[in-house]
Amino acid sequence: MADSSITRFAPRGPRGMWRALQWSLKGLVVTWCVESSFRLEVYIFVFAAPLGLWLGHGGVEKALLVGVLVLVLATELLNSAIEAVIERYGPEHHELAGRAKDMGSAAVFVLMINAVLTWALILGARGF
């Protein structure tokens, strides 16, 4: 939630930070419940993140191998948020709504390509 002088729910101090954490966890749970793509990406993350930590040589490689997976999850969350806002206004087709949904999906796709390339370049340099 954005900070504002007129809202008393803006995250301030430990109590506000706790509320912000609760909102974030609520967003993760709701996305898990309604988005099969997010669930699949979480399954991939649960398998691939420990593998990346094990295969990475040094902190930078480990951060890259796991970090690109986190970016895919974060982008899927944003894509799901875009889709939810568009669906809020109704199921009728609108060119701009369709374009926004396609662009969000394309962002996830681009980051998936980035993840595959990162893993291939790091592990491929070692002959895996």
Q: How far apart are CA 123 and CA 113, in angstroms?
A: 15
* Token pair recorded at residue 52: 């990346």
Dihedral, CA atoms, 37, 82, 87, 30, nearest 10 degrees?
A: 50
Active site residue 76: yes
Residues 60, 52 contacting (CB under 8 angstroms)? no
Phi, psi of 126 (to 5 degrees): -100, -5
Selected catalytic residue, list 61, 76, 83, 92:
76
Give the catalytic positions in this structure.
76
